[in-house]
Structure 1
Amino acid sequence: MKTANTALALALCTFIPLAHAEPISQEPLSVQLASGSAQAEAPGFIAGQSVSGSTRNWYGREHSTRGPLWRYYKADGTRHDSHSRENWVQGTLLNYSSGFTQGTVGFALEAAGYHALALQQGRSRVAGPNNRTLTHSDGDVIAQWSKLGLANLKARVSNTTLTAGRHSVDTPVIAYIGNRALPSSFQGVSVNSAEFDNLTFDAGTFDRVSPRTEQSLSKFRSEYGAAGVETDRVNMFGLNYQPLKSLTTSLYAANVEDFWNQYYFGASHSLGDSDVLSLATGLNYYKTVDSGRQKLGEIDNDAYSLSLGLTHQAHTFSVAWQQINGNEYFDYLHETNGIFLANSLMSDFNGPNEKSLQFSYVLNMAPFGVPGLKFNIYKARGWGIDGTHYRGNGYDVRGMQGENHYEYGFGTTYAVQSGPLKNTAIRATYSAHRASAGQADGSLDEFRVVTTLPFSLL
């Protein structure tokens, strides 16, 4: 289950097309060399440096509507079931980035310190350990903690940059996840090349992840696979190509050592004028097959989603279909956001052989004189979950036969448009999930309030 505080936003904003004063052009674009060189315009190590960051107040309360989903330890060591858990954390990120040195090859440094303050410290309320509030193994909350979230060296030639160390990555197969008080990051080496106007390349190799709510680095493991199964290496390569002004495409491949090979294709297209009527179409497809020592057993999985979003001025109506073809979960790496499927919400709707359908509506208040304010609502339903034909040993799905579930939610977001608090965002969401007896995500309600305040010191 994706218990993300961005779940509602992902549900609704995935399909929002770009607003245009006139219909977006459908003309083809030729592949041409970039007109300029970022490195040729490098200001220098000191002249280009900056210090910035953000502080996020993250509150979430969950309540199970059936049996207890969580447990906690009292001070005397006794263990007790709980129908609810409440987490409240203030996370602050302070980032230093130097400019690139001048010359044919430019070098730069990046470092970021992360600090978390637990505002809710009651054992029974937090119900830890969990991935929201850092606790000791007995559930005793760690009042505050810090770590080095980013620390890397960059080298750039023209418009191609190599980054080595701990850094953020955002691709369909491995991506940082920023849905807690602090984000995750990855240790490794990556390259981004933007030598063409409408064609970019990514490549990388990573051996550790820095989790959202942990101080130490961890090996990679999958989100839905057997507990305790880990891997030391993730390799990926991909490209992003814009053949039309209205069409963007992505093609990626990843090897998770001894887990799987995963291939991704994505496309998004915009048509029309949102002042009158525009249509945004999104397609996402993943193919996953086992590899190496097959630590998660046999895997042969196809997952895809198709979304359509109609916008007329302030109103966006969207529908998304998602389907999993395979006798195991569609899986991705834990502590990443490497799932670009349209129906990845509070639940990922990614059970074996599952089909799901989502409807959503977004009201943008800018045309009514309140820019930055949005309201949204959605409902999604999944059915046909069947793991009885699974013959592997990495996923606990054999008890799922004819399982189904549904989810709905609503919320509001406001972003400050001007003044000293410009770009401060406040989001409040309520989500509810209901499941049949064998569906793994359970039946629960969740309320979240998240306030993010960006700042710049240099």
Structure 2
Amino acid sequence: MYKSTLAFAVAVGVLAQQANAAGFVEDSKLSLSSRTMYFDHDDRDTGSGSSRESGQGFKLDYISGFTEGVVGFGVDAQALWGIHLDGGKGHHPNTSNFFPSDTDGSAVSQWGRFGANAKARFSKTEAHFGSALAPNLPILVSNDGRLLPQTFEGGTIQSKEIDSLTLNAGQLTHAMGRASSNRTGLSVAGASQDSNKFQFAGGDWKVTKDLTLQYYYSNLEDFYKQHFLGLVHVYPIAEDQSFKTDLRYFDSSSDGKNGETGYAFNNNNGYAKNTGEVDNKTWSAMFTYTLGGHAFLLGHQQIGDDGGFVWMNQGNVRKDGTTDTSLEGAAGASFYLFTDSMINQFARAGENTTFGQYSYDFARLGVPGLKTSISYLRGDDIRNQSGNGSYNEWERDARIDYVIQEGTFKGLGTSLRHGVYRGSGEAGADVDQTRLIFNYTYSFM
């Protein structure tokens, strides 16, 4: 039994005595989210990584209010259930992270998990402890790109005691993958060992209503240390026009056993000055001009020459630290770079990526809820593993989203996305990918 589950049971026992306290029940929320998804991943080179599958996901969320008193207490709980609808014979590769794999390599018929958090609030500070944490911070972004979301186990604290300043800190110990019923240790892609300590701290300072500054520090024990600096500024040109500047800088370095057997980072299959060790500086800048329903985005990103960008991604690491290419759905993670796109990441050593996007909100034409976008990314100067040459890659993504605004099916959302990735040299396989998603959330209270 997980420690977080025990903590949750204790919390429920304490709160049972205060269940009628104002706020705990009155401010509670219960909702059921449904996601139906068709996923077509076409490996254009060998076909060995291709998949064509569909599934149904359900997410039941209970979020309580807080009990009365100087310190208020509450609980959050989450139940997740994934159902395999169809994959077609031979269309579920053993390395798929869309569905868990059964012992024979086929997709399991269903999977699920339960998570819960105990929480406390004092003044404008909240602490959460449990196994249903979903951080969305520059140094860690919980992934929600498949049927079910990725979640983490540990504790976090957020404080807004000082006006215009939001402080975040925490320690995480395990992760639950987006296509997994189980938890794993914390690791990076390509490593065969894990860690049970990811610590972070930092904050967002809203200097003015248009300018926000950010700093965060994180440490995945025995893998990496990472500093982040960010700046976001929105310049209002006119009532219907604005210009947004978003600057981001990461400085990542080796920690503890990183580089030793089992703790080595594969540098996204690229060059590393010191084999297996984290050594990277990355900066990126994005500028967005908005005019009415139109948004034009242009940006550039530079990955340092000494090694690829690093982020937390368990990959195929088991709970006991060993690896298995058929491990159920632990892989798949997001990170806070503009180039974390539909298929590729553009995060290899030396990579210079220029990217652009155009989007339009059809509410301006009298069709609220309808949005569309198309983007293009090209990465050049990628250092090959020997460091003696370079290669390039590009990706083109398009999507259209619509959310019904009124009537019986109000809130039902549909998203159609298509991506094309091509690379040269040591880049990954050429891929075409299509996703069709239907989302709906019903609130009971």
TM-score above 0.5, yes or no: yes
Amino acid at match of 1:241: W
The secondary structure found in structure 2 opposite 1:244 is coil
Deviation at 1:266, TM superposition (A): 1.4
Q: Once superposed, what is the RMSD of the aligned Cα atoms? A: 1.7
Q: Give the alignment of 1:289-328 within 5 angstroms.
A: 289-294=253-258, 295-296=263-264, 297-328=276-307
Amino acid at match of 2:254: D
Specify the alignment match of 1:348 in structure 2: 345
Distance in 2, matches of 1:230 and 1:421, equals: 45
Distance in 2, matches of 1:56 and 1:436, equals: 35
Distance in 1, matches of 2:421 and 2:220, equals: 31
Amino acid at match of 2:248: N
The secondary structure found in structure 2 opposite 1:367 is helix
Post-superposition Cα deviations, 1:288-322, rounded to whole Å, max 9, x if no partner, equal 00011222243221011101111111211111100
The secondary structure found in structure 1 opposite 2:90 is helix
Specify the alignment match of 2:46 in structure 1: 67
Specify the alignment match of 1:247 in structure 2: 211
Q: Choose between structure 1 and 2 for higher RCO, CA contacts under 8 A separated by at least 6 residues.
A: 1
Q: TM-score, normalised by structure 1?
A: 0.82
Distance in 2, matches of 1:400 and 1:177, equals: 35
Contact 2:403 2:414 in 1 (8 A): yes
Post-superposition Cα deviations, 1:236-279, rounded to whole Å, max 9, x if no partner, equal 00101100110112210001000010011111111124654321
Distance in 1, matches of 2:94 and 2:388, equals: 28
- Correspondent of 2:412 among 411, 418, 424: 424
- Correspondent of 1:339 among 335, 341, 347: 335
Distance in 1, matches of 2:424 and 2:387, equals: 12
Contact 1:321 1:357 in 2 (8 A): yes
The secondary structure found in structure 2 opposite 1:398 is coil
Q: TM-score, normalised by structure 2?
A: 0.84
- Correspondent of 2:112 among 146, 161, 167: 146
Deviation at 1:399, TM superposition (A): 7.2
- What's the % identity of the aligned pairs? 27
Deviation at 1:210, TM superposition (A): 0.9
Gaps of 5+ in 2: 1-20, 265-275, 314-330
Q: Give the alignment of 1:227-242 within 5 angstroms.
A: 227-242=191-206
The secondary structure found in structure 1 opposite 2:246 is strand
Specify the alignment match of 1:407 in structure 2: 395
Amino acid at match of 1:445: D
Deviation at 1:400, TM superposition (A): 7.8
Matched, 1:371 2:368: yes
Deviation at 1:109, TM superposition (A): 0.6
Matched, 1:50 2:44: no
Deviation at 1:47, TM superposition (A): 2.1
Specify the alignment match of 1:94 in structure 2: 60
Contact 2:52 2:88 in 1 (8 A): no
Distance in 1, matches of 2:392 and 2:202, equals: 35
Post-superposition Cα deviations, 1:348-399, rounded to whole Å, max 9, x if no partner, equal 1111010010121111111100011111111110010114xxxxxxxxx337
Post-superposition Cα deviations, 1:35-81, rounded to whole Å, max 9, x if no partner, equal xxxxxxx94322222211311011110112223342xxxxxxxxxxx
Specify the alignment match of 1:125 in structure 2: 91
Q: 1:122 to 1:336 in 2, by over 3 A?
A: closer
Distance in 1, matches of 2:332 and 2:164, equals: 27
Post-superposition Cα deviations, 1:83-140, rounded to whole Å, max 9, x if no partner, equal x311211110001122110000110011110000101144411223421011214312
Deviation at 1:415, TM superposition (A): 1.6
Specify the alignment match of 1:455 in structure 2: 442
Gaps of 5+ in 1: 1-41, 71-83, 388-396
Specify the alignment match of 1:9 in structure 2: none
Post-superposition Cα deviations, 1:211-237, rounded to whole Å, max 9, x if no partner, equal 1101011011213xx242322210000
Contact 1:62 1:445 in 2 (8 A): yes
Amino acid at match of 1:152: N
Contact 1:129 1:136 in 2 (8 A): no
Distance in 2, matches of 1:411 and 1:293, equals: 42
Matched, 1:362 2:326: no
Contact 1:249 1:268 in 2 (8 A): yes
The secondary structure found in structure 1 opposite 2:86 is coil
Distance in 1, matches of 2:224 and 2:425, equals: 30
Contact 2:353 2:379 in 1 (8 A): yes
Q: Give the alignment of 1:180-199 within 5 angstroms.
A: 180-199=146-165
Specify the alignment match of 1:85 in structure 2: 51
Amino acid at match of 1:364: D
**Large movers: runs of 4+ above 6 Å:** none
The secondary structure found in structure 2 opposite 1:366 is helix
Contact 1:209 1:220 in 2 (8 A): yes
The secondary structure found in structure 1 opposite 2:91 is helix
Matched length? 391
Distance in 1, matches of 2:208 and 2:332, equals: 30
